[in-house]
Amino acid sequence: MKIFLLPLVTLILLVLQSVLTEVIPSSFLDGMLYIPHWPLVISIIVMIFYDREHSYVGLMNGLAFAFLTDLTFTSILGVYLLGYGVSLYVIHLLKRVLHKNFLVSIVFVLLGVAIADLIIFGVYFLIGQVMIGFQDYLTIRLVPSLIVNVIGLLILYPLTKPMLTKWKYELEK
């Protein structure tokens, strides 16, 4: 049961972000690109509060849903896979160094989303999918995306953290 819960929640987040993108009119957003990376956010939370030293549940979950995002929302496979993969691995390395609390998880989400989105921008820029400059990218896309993903974290954190720490405790016992 627990095995299916995490993919199900991530799938619902993935679907929710696409439905919300359709329903919220973009005239309301004033030319800014708010890109939700909520599957990445929940994978980071799992990685911090559930994964042990050598388990990769969060990483695998993130990679699977990165591929699903590539498949369903874009016509180029592999870009989200690379972005989410690198960003989750960096966080896997960093989480040994830092304590596991709320502030650190905000820092990790900011860092992870920034790495993933920069890689996604870089690859799309290389293959000619986007033509905007780096300065424009920072103001139009990166900053709004960081905001919307931290909002995602603020909603997901209180819902998932107690359950994850409980499961980890049961696992270690």
* Binding residues for other proteins restricted to 96-135, rule: CB under 8 A: 120, 123-124, 127, 129-130
Nearer to other proteins, 69 or 105 (CB): 69
Site for other proteins contains 143 (CB under 8 A): no
Contact region with other proteins (CB under 8 A), list: 7-15, 49-57, 104-112, 162-170: 7-15
Q: Which of 6, 9, 10, 36 binds other proteins (CB under 8 A)?
A: 36
Question: Look-up: residue for tokens 């997901």?
Answer: 156
Which positions touch other proteins (CB under 8 A)?
11-12, 14-27, 33, 35-36, 68-69, 71-82, 85, 120, 123-124, 127, 129-130
